[in-house]
Structure 1
Amino acid sequence: MIGPIADGPVDVHAHWLPAELFGLPPGAPFGPLRDSGGELYLGEVPLSIPTRAMSDVPAILADTAAAGLGVRVLSAPPFAFPVAGPAAEYVDAFNTALAEVVASADAALAGLGLVSLDDDAVATAQLKRLAAQPGIAGVAIPPLLGGESLDRGGLRHVLGESARLGLSVLVHPMQLPRPEWRDHYLANLLGNPVETATAVGALLLGGVLDQLPDLRICFVHGGGCTPGVLGRWDHGWHTRADVRRDSSRPPGEAVRALWFDTVTHDPELLHLLTTRVGEHAVVCGSDHPFDMAQPDPVGFATAAGLDVATLAANARAFLGAGS
């Protein structure tokens, strides 16, 4: 139940995790988080960000104001997604803490909660609680889970329940390791865009939007590879029966019912994204506080020709927010 949020530009893609949850969900493949001299580490890997930037709410609010934003929407960092088994206690603790932070921020913060991904009944109960929580717009989820994506399994269940309950869904990649991406940060530089495009493709070609026309869903990092491969997807849809068997519209048409954020690191790519999905489908994002974040999300978007008022209206539409 998001309710009204503050005026001004809205950043739909920013991360927060309270220090008491740095241990991460049971079985988390990367954790735990730890502080070392004020810097944040994931296990033994330095994240190149100050610890307080992830966990300190006054620091986040100060950065929000300095970036010229009216509202920042907080979600858990992707390594806190409960992808390795039962984690209901962790999920509930995060959602409770997030609701408290949002409630104390005078409409300058909104939230996207976590949800258990191993048990559909538990997930439904958690989503119902999120839907009743002031200041919480919806849920953040990974694009892939156990070899499946958004068109089947636990992730598809979360989408269906979110649409039924009027919750927004933010899809954030996990930076999953692959041996060919072990060097040069390629698990992020290539992995994140590929994971996201995989989820977009599964959603569009899997007919999920035909089944859930009221679903509000946003993909970060400009949809990853999606803008560059939509033409290929359309060609496949028109020429192959197996590509189009589950969907009623070509991907290039259906994609305009989704939202995508502006974190593309390239004005030309942002222009291509806007051309392909429509200006109504683009929302401002930052990826705060990570090293791959866009430090001036509003300036980057406006320099690429996007209008601040339109971006803000788009974000409010995605979040289901009042004025």
Structure 2
Amino acid sequence: MTSTIRSGPIDVHAHWLPEDLFGLPPGSPVPPLNGRDGQLHLGDLPLSIQTAAMSDPARVLADTDAAGLGARVISAPPFAFPVADAPGVDDYVGAFNDELAKVCRDSAGRLLGLGLVSLHDPDAARKQIEAMASTGVVRGIAVPPLLGHTSFDVAPMRDVLAIAAENDAAVLVHPMQLPRPEWSSYYLTNLIGNPVETATAAASLVLGGVLEELPSLRICMLHGGGCAPALVGRWQHGWSQRADVRSARTRSPREGFAGLWFDTLTHDGPALDLLRAHADPGRLMCGSDYPFDMGIALPLDLPHSVGIDDAALEDNARRFLGLDEGENRV
């Protein structure tokens, strides 16, 4: 089944969650979402997000148009990732994926989706990914960079990536903002924690042999790869000097890093230039982090500022999403 998508740049990094799933997956480490006076809260914590921006498809579409985008790719916010191995997870995942597919089908070619999978159960994840593929509009999955204390170089996350690659499904990696005592002030769990989580996942892919094992895998690291672009040289030096860094018999980190995909949400032109110095220019895509407070309302401004044009952003995103060159555009 193919998808007809409106022409124009595609934002691959935006979030949506229907209100009936605000309770979050079974075993969630964070309290349920709730809307109060039009504002979204995580338990009692205000998120500085209007409830409709997270949950109302009409609002999402209006904001997509206001941003000058052709289309948006919506996925669950990270606190809706099923990170606990708990009864009922499969039901939550299925409900989200079904509602996601409906919203995308009803969007007149302006929305595509990336669904959820049961992260601890590769057999269930296989069935879920195969079901997504049949919709045409859910083009892959969104996953956290870490599951407990492990990442993509070991099971079960490595198994999930293998299933995604086998089914030609795109993979989006979004950090979880995991708490640490030293990051308890100044929103450092986000400002430092998110980039570190993403860099950890990138290292697991580049140094763990995952990209060599799964050459067809399309996997995107968000927020411009976090702090990973600033570490590629350090990884390269360690790989050349230490046998343990080379233990997975990978190609060099510089070569491996070029096999990853990224959004352009670096919040800073020089940071985006650094990413471009290490990444494949054909694997850079527009990202907004809509509707979070660390997102940006006009996500095209930053890539434009460093000379990345709309045609490149659209073409790159289409290849990431597995959309054929000849597919209809509206």
Aligned partners of 1:31 and 1:79 also within 8 Å:
no
AA of the residue aligned to 1:12:
V
Shift of 1:79: 0.1
- 1:234 deviates by 0.4
Match of 2:12 in 1: 12
Q: Letter of the aligned partner of 1:8 in structure 2?
A: G
Partner of 1:131: 133
- Residue 312, structure 1, aligned to residue 323, structure 2: no
Equivalent of residue 93 in structure 2, options 71, 91, 94: 91
Number of aligned positions between the proteins: 323
Q: Distance in 1 between matches of 2:316 and 2:2?
A: 15
Query: Is residue 303 of structure 2 the alignment partner of residue 301 of structure 1?
Result: yes
Matched residue SS, 1:69:
coil
Q: Unpaired segments of 5 or more residues in structure 2?
A: none
Is structure 2 residue 239 aligned with structure 1 residue 237?
Answer: yes
* Corresponding position of 1:181: 183
Equivalence for 2:160: 158
How many Å separate the matches in 2 of 1:116 and 1:29?
Answer: 16
Pair 1:42 & 2:38 matched:
no
**Residues 1:226 and 2:222 are matched in the alignment:** no
> Match of 1:244, SS?
coil
Which residue pairs with 1:282 in the alignment?
A: 284
* Contact 1:210–1:247 (CA under 8 A) maintained in structure 2: no
In 1, distance between residues paired with 2:314 and 2:136?
Answer: 20
The residue number in structure 2 matching 1:168 is 170
What secondary structure sits across from 1:242 in the alignment? coil
Distance in 1 of aligned mates of 2:296 and 2:267: 7
Deviation at 1:305, TM superposition (A): 1.6
Q: Give me the whole-angstrom Cα distance separating, in 1, the residues matched to 2:8 and 2:163.
A: 30
Query: How big is the shift at 1:200?
Result: 0.3
> In the alignment, is the contact (CA less than 8 A) between 2:153 and 2:205 conserved in 1?
yes
Structure 1 stretch 192-201 or stretch 250-259: which is displaced more?
A: 250-259
Unaligned ranges ≥5, structure 1: none
Q: SS in structure 1 opposite 2:266?
A: coil
Match of 2:104 in 1: 102
Equivalence map 1:193-208=2 (5 Å): 193-208=195-210
Q: Alpha-carbon deviations, 1:167-201, whole Å to 9, x = none?
A: 00000000001111111100000000000000000
Verify: 1:65 aligned to 2:65, yes or no. yes
Aligned residue identity for 1:246: A
TM-score, with normalisation over the residues of structure 1? 0.98
Give the 4+ runs in structure 1 shifted more than 4 A.
Answer: none
Q: Deviations over 1:257-288 (max 9, x none)?
A: 11100111111000110111131121000000
How far did 1:247 drift? 3.4
**What is the CA distance between 1:300 and its match in structure 2?**
1.8
Q: Is the 8 A contact 1:2 1:319 kept in 2?
A: no
CA drift at 1:44: 1.1
TM-superposed CA distance for 1:2, in Å, is 5.6
Aligned partners of 1:307, 1:258: CA distance in 2, in Å?
20
CA distance in 2, matches of 1:93, 1:137: 17
Q: Write the mapping of 1:241-280 to structure 2, written as runs, cut at 5 A.
A: 241-280=243-282
Matching residue's letter, 2:126: T
Residues 91-127 of structure 1 show CA distances to partners (whole Å, capped at 9, x for unaligned) of 0000000000000001110000000012221111111
**With structure 2 as the length reference, what TM-score do the two structures score?**
0.96
- Whether the aligned pair in 1 keeps the contact of 2:34 and 2:40 (CA below 8 Å) is yes
In structure 2, what is the equivalent of residue 192 of structure 1? 194
**1:56-94 C-alpha deviation (Å, 9 max, x unpaired):** 101000000010000100000000000012300000000
Decide which structure has greater helix share.
Answer: 1
Q: Contact 1:2 / 1:137 at 8 angstroms: preserved in 2? A: no
SS at match of 1:297: coil
Q: Distance in 2 between matches of 1:247 and 1:28?
A: 37
3-state SS of paired residue (1:143):
coil
Query: What is the identity, as a one-letter code, of the residue corresponding to 1:34?
Result: N
The sequence identity of aligned pairs, in percent, is 55
Distance 1:216 1:77, change over 3 A: same
The answer to whether the Cα contact below 8 Å between 2:206 and 2:250 also exists between their aligned partners in 1 is no
SS in 2 for 1:292: coil
Amino acid of the residue matched to residue 219 of structure 1?
M
